[in-house]
Structure 1
Amino acid sequence: MDGSDAAALFDPANWYREGQGPRYRQLHAYLTEAIRDGRLPVGSQLPPERDLAEFADVSRVTVRRAVSQLAMDGLIDQRRGSGSYVRPGAPRLEQSLSRLMSFTELMQARGMSSTSRILARGLFAPLPAETMALGLGTGEMVARVERLRSADGVPMALERSCLPPDVLPDPDAVEVSLYAVLRARGLAPTRAIQRVSAVNITPREAEIMALAEGTAALQIDRTAYLASGRPVEFTRGVYRSDIYDFVTELRLDS
């Protein structure tokens, strides 16, 4: 990439919006999008810090923070004395829609290390969708756990899980795997119904997942049931569509 191309790509008119958050965060989101869509192809080198600061009309500290976050996200390699290079993209993850499997179990099956950051948990008044899915009565509360799910340090999904309080009386017990907690209580679901929708992430979701606002994603609404037929979990998750593929097997009725 020559200087004129780099100047055009990193022109602040392309990525900075007044009132949309700190410059380093907006620059990070823009660079992430440029890597994802191929404008910064695999193996390409980012401009030196001083040049990138000049092209983007920001301080070198702003550039340093944005690029450091890219490295933490696993999108670039920072090589001492050489520069920063775009890494190969993460492999796409296939998750079967016909198998009830937690995020932690899926990542373990792929040989990846999963982590969860708790965003909120406790007992709350249910939202209408939660009331309907769980068959709650008037005045009942829900145990809710909202988590950012990551694999090998890369944010993958936002999940908000809601359960009746008698199924999950202590939401603080959930650290990594919700299903591990439910199994320990003998209340793990045995089947689920899922609905997959195409969505664009909200500004809040974009900030948490370090993606550009409005990025296309997959929304999964899952209602899970005990063997008795009682609904015990309603989870709404937003998954990165550039990494996730959800697959199912279809059979011809005989």
Structure 2
Amino acid sequence: MRDLLVTRGADGTPLYLQFARNLRDHIESGAITPGDALPSERDLSEMAGISRVTVRKAIEALIDEGMLFRRQGSGTFVLRRIETPASVLSSFSSDARLRGEDPGVFWMIKSYAQPTEEEAAALSIPPSTRVARLGRVRLSAGEPLAIEHAVVPADCLPDLTSIGDSLYEAMGRSGFRPVTGTQRVRASLATPTEAGLLGVQQNSEVLRIERVTRVESGRAVEFTRSVYRGDRYDIVTELRGIGAEPD
């Protein structure tokens, strides 16, 4: 990393932006890989021949870009983006475990209620149906990544006190694990409350996902609205051709 040296006055660009650009180039080239810790601010200062204040400003700029993140008491790390396929129905918990990370959950609400008109329509149930209303922050390796608000018919779940990290695992115990579904994804900005729960700045980019899932019979068993951190997730879709184009 010795080529992080900054040339003063080279092109009129502020030194911290020059250094941020050099760091970005290293990350994008693979010289610093996702999950790696950066050297200390003092070491970076010596490598680049600039002040620690300049190094700190550059790091903060890359944190704002979503390229780096700080872990309290551990240092600054290169952010690892998570690719999730849009065409596969999977649970947050199983995805985390496949990445070698431990899933976690912070429950905000876990109660029974009656559905709103919109929820009843999405689930194709009468408005008088008893549903479970489940609100939680999803964590992976201790890091908050998503906020989920799910509505599930009460008969599709065991007792609410027995629901752990995975909603789908709990639904499976009652014989209602989803096998198909539809979802809509749109880009948005985090509200102050969402930013606080996710540990990001207000108006940070987020992905809003609305999902309805079904069991094999076609019955709708889950209506969930989620907010995922845009700095951590890429939604990947496989594309297929539809045949030869007309002349």
Give the alignment's TM-score, normalised by structure 2.
Answer: 0.68
Q: Which amino acid aligns with 2:230?
A: S
Mark the CA change 1:203 to 1:128 in structure 2 (over 3 Å): closer, same or farther: farther
- 1:43: how far off? 4.4
Matched-pair contact (CA < 8 Å) for 1:157–1:238? yes
Tell me what 1:188 maps to: 177
- 1:170: how far off? 2.4
Which 4+ runs in 1 deviate beyond 6 A?
none
Supply the distance in 2 between the matched residues of 1:163 and 1:76 (Cα, whole angstroms).
35
CA offsets per residue over residues 188-246 of structure 1, 9 Å max, x none?
Answer: 11101010011112222112112222211001111000111110001111000100011
Tell me what 1:75 maps to: 70
Supply the distance in 1 between the matched residues of 2:118 and 2:198 (Cα, whole angstroms).
24
2:178 is paired with a residue whose SS is: coil
**Map 1:152-167 → 2, pairs under 5 A:** 152-167=141-156
Matched-pair contact (CA < 8 Å) for 1:193–1:222? yes
Is residue 38 of structure 2 the alignment partner of residue 45 of structure 1?
no
CA offsets per residue over residues 86-133 of structure 1, 9 Å max, x none?
Answer: 2222x1111111111000000111111111111101112323432221
Supply the distance in 2 between the matched residues of 1:238 and 1:44 (Cα, whole angstroms).
33
Tell me what 2:165 maps to: 176
Tell me what 1:247 maps to: 236
Tell me what 1:62 maps to: none
Supply the distance in 2 between the matched residues of 1:248 and 1:128 (Cα, whole angstroms).
32
**Map 1:59-138 → 2, pairs under 5 A:** 75-76=70-71, 78=73, 85-89=75-79, 91-138=80-127
Is residue 138 of structure 2 the alignment partner of residue 149 of structure 1?
yes
Tell me what 2:50 maps to: none
2:154 is paired with a residue whose SS is: coil
1:75 is paired with a residue whose SS is: strand
Supply the distance in 2 between the matched residues of 1:195 and 1:207 (Cα, whole angstroms).
24
Matched-pair contact (CA < 8 Å) for 2:117–2:127? no
Higher Cα radius of gyration: 2
- 1:158: how far off? 0.4
Which consecutive residues of structure 2, in runs of 5 or more, have no partner in the other structure? Answer: 1-14, 17-36, 43-52, 54-68
Supply the distance in 2 between the matched residues of 1:77 and 1:178 (Cα, whole angstroms).
30
Matched-pair contact (CA < 8 Å) for 1:43–1:88? no
Supply the distance in 1 between the matched residues of 2:73 and 2:158 (Cα, whole angstroms).
46
Q: Which amino acid aligns with 1:192?
A: G
**Map 1:2-41 → 2, pairs under 5 A:** none
| Aligned Cα root-mean-square deviation (Å) | 2.7
- 1:156: how far off? 0.4
Give the alignment's TM-score, normalised by structure 1.
Answer: 0.67
